[in-house]
Amino acid sequence: MRYLPHTQEEIAAMLQTAGIADLDDLFANVPKECRRSAPLNLPEPLTEWELNDHVGALADRNATAPDYKVYLGAGSYDHFIPASVSFLLGRGEFSTAYTPYQPEISQGTLHAIYEYQSLVCRLLGMDVANASMYDGASGLAEALLMALRITRKTKVAVSRAIHPLYRRVVQTYLTPTGYEIIELPYLENGRTDLSSIENRDDLAAVAVQSPNFFGCIEDLQSISDTVHSTPKRLLVTSFSEPLAYGLLKSPGMLGADIACGEGQSFGIPRSFGGPGLGMFAVKKAYMRKMPGRLIGQTKDIDGNRGFVLTLAAREQHIRREKATSNICSNQGLCATNAVMYMASLGGTGIRELARLNHDKAHYLQNELDKAGFAAPFASPFFNEFVVRFPDNFEKTYNQLIAKKIVAGLPLASYYPELADHYLLCATETASREDLDNLVKEVRSCKNQ
């Protein structure tokens, strides 16, 4: 076995030094009743070459580009990933290191994550970003818990236009401690309706997502005005498509107290939904209340610049049961991935790429509209939007799958009132020809 380097002679010599009779004797302390009686029942080992065949065949059983045209966003986006980013990320010096507990020999990770924190702050218009959370959903849950701690209140308001799967995670995190979640409905235009909570002073936080699950860009400025018109209410803004902030005003600029969301779009493969990247950033006032690891700049004893893990007094390994969160390992390599991607795009690149995403999606929406498929929500959108297809579109949808086209996400299971509504996404990876073909196929099915 190529991962186990010991020869028989070495094993014998080592046993002798350790004063142990044989390999079984190493476990003499394990009570008999705790031991397995039978060997593990697992498949026979595969050679490297057999593994390639076996796993390769499984990989071929999933619908992916270029074979399939998949117009799904909904929290997981198809973006081009430069070869340089994948190549750099593959360096074992990054991938096979642990959390940087020994800063002198972990400056690569520390420097890169400090840069990640900095670019996330610039992207979101916030003061302090942590080194990552597990994903956009758990980040949102932790943001709400943080607001509950800060304000010492017991209720939060969460928009129904936040990703339904994120809301389910929030529900799970908040259930045992008994905090109450008040759901905010959405308006006819697809944006969140805050009218029910305008003056409520028992809310720790109001959470919205922008662009929201329907793709609609929320009016964060007016939401912020409403939320902050009552004291001690925090505005938490979530997102699933950070590329939008290449174009849009940042949540920080518009008044967010905590901005958190999913960073998968930044050079991370979709990989069936994980690993992704929980981006998490706050205004300075809340720095010491935030969850997660933080990297700070400092100097070494010779006066040279260096980086360390810092403000650990918030964390589980120091504070144990009183920590701001239980998070330990986060999504460090994904944060490194994202900073490599952001560095590759640059300020100029991210703006152009965001603009292109916006325009591709608008082109598709416009063509669908011309073909008679209406967009029910009138709000501005970025790279995804909702379409109302004709009644019983499901049959057509399945016919398109047979033609290797996935025409968006059916919304009925998430929003029963939105039967025959589909969420479609078009990014820079969709060519005009693909988009025209999608419209043609949808239309021809309609005419059947």
Partner 1 sequence: MQESVGTKGLIFNEPLLWEKGSKGRSGFSLPRRDVDSFPVDEELCGDGPDFPDLGETDVVRHFTRLSQWNFSVDSGMYPLGSCTMKYNPKTNERQAALPGFGGAHPLLPAELSQGVLQIMYELERYLGEITGLPAVTLQPAAGAHGELTGMLIFYAYHQSKGSKRSKIIIPDTAHGTNPASATLCGYKSIPVKSDENGVLAPADVAAVMDDDTAGIMVTNPNTLGLFEDNIQEVSKIVHDHGGLVYADGANMNAVMGIVNMADSGVDVLHLNLHKTFATPHGGGGPGSGPVCVTPELERFLPSPRVIEKDGKYRLSEDYPDSVGKIHAFYGNFGVQIKAYAYIRTMGAANLKKASQLAVLNANYIKAALKDTYYLPYNRPCMHECVFNDKFLSDFKVSTLDVAKRLMEYGFHPPTVYFPLVVAGAIMIEPTETECKQDIDMFIDAMKAIAREARENPELLHEAPTTPKVRRLDEITAARKPCLSG
| Cα gap 284→54, rounded to integer Å | 51
Phi and psi at 380, nearest 5°, equal: -60, 150
| Site mask for ligand PLP (CB under 6 A), range 283-322, x = bound | ----------------------------------------
**Do residues 204 and 148 touch, judged by C-beta distance below 8 A?**
yes
One of 12, 318, 328, 412 touching ligand PLP (CB under 6 A) = 328
Residue 293's Cβ-count burial label (10 Å; 0-12, 13-18, 19+) is buried
**Which residue, 260 or 327, is less far from ligand PLP as judged by CB?**
327
Interacting residues with partner 1 between 133 and 152 (CB under 8 A): 134-138, 145
Is residue 101 involved in binding ligand PLP (CB under 6 A)? no
Is residue 395 involved in binding partner 1 (CB under 8 A)? no
Interacting residues with partner 1 between 5 and 34 (CB under 8 A): 5-6, 10-11, 13-15, 17-20, 23, 26-31, 33-34
Interacting residues with partner 1 between 180 and 209 (CB under 8 A): none
Q: How far is the CB of 414 from partner 1 (least distance, A)?
A: 10
Is residue 416 involved in binding partner 1 (CB under 8 A)? no
Binding residues for partner 1, total number by CB under 8 A:
207
Beta-sheet strand order (sheet of 421-425): 384-388, 421-425, 409-410
| Cα gap 38→31, rounded to integer Å | 16
State both tokens at 263. 């960073």
| Site mask for partner 1 (CB under 8 A), range 204-233, x = bound | -------------x----------------
Give the closest residue to 426 by CA, choosing from 412, 401, 405, 445.
405
**Which residue, 46 or 328, is less far from ligand PLP as judged by CB?**
328
| CA distances, 132 to each of 129, 221, 276, 293, 345 (Å) | 8, 26, 10, 7, 20
One of 21, 64, 154, 200 touching partner 1 (CB under 8 A) = 64
Q: How far is the CB of 443 from partner 1 (least distance, A)?
A: 19
One of 8, 152, 176, 417 touching partner 1 (CB under 8 A) = 176
| Cα gap 214→235, rounded to integer Å | 20
**Which residue, 99 or 118, is less far from ligand PLP as judged by CB?**
99
Is residue 329 involved in binding ligand PLP (CB under 6 A)? yes
| Cα gap 205→197, rounded to integer Å | 11
Interacting residues with ligand PLP between 166 and 195 (CB under 6 A): none
Q: How far is the CB of 231 from partner 1 (least distance, A)?
A: 27
**Which residue, 262 or 315, is less far from ligand PLP as judged by CB?**
315
Q: How far is the CB of 185 from partner 1 (least distance, A)?
A: 22
Is residue 376 involved in binding partner 1 (CB under 8 A)? no
Q: How far is the CB of 330 from ligand PLP (least distance, A)?
A: 8
371 binds, among partner 1, ligand PLP, none (CB under 5 to 8 A by kind): none
One of 181, 187, 343, 418 touching partner 1 (CB under 8 A) = 343
231 binds, among ligand PLP, partner 1, none (CB under 5 to 8 A by kind): none
| Site mask for partner 1 (CB under 8 A), range 298-337, x = bound | xxxxx-xxxxx-xxxx-xxxxxxxxx-xxxxxxxxxxxx-
Q: How far is the CB of 139 from ligand PLP (least distance, A)?
A: 15
**Do residues 211 and 381 touch, judged by C-beta distance below 8 A?**
yes
* Residues paired with 52 in a beta bridge: none
Residue 271's Cβ-count burial label (10 Å; 0-12, 13-18, 19+) is exposed
One of 225, 352, 420, 441 touching partner 1 (CB under 8 A) = 352
305 in helix, strand or coil?
strand
| Cα gap 437→27, rounded to integer Å | 65
Concatenated DSSP letters of 140-177: HHHHHHHHHHHHT-SEEEEETTS-HHHHHHHHHHHTTT
| CA distances, 76 to each of 136, 312, 365 (Å) | 11, 32, 19
Binding residues for ligand PLP, rule: CB under 6 A, are 328-329
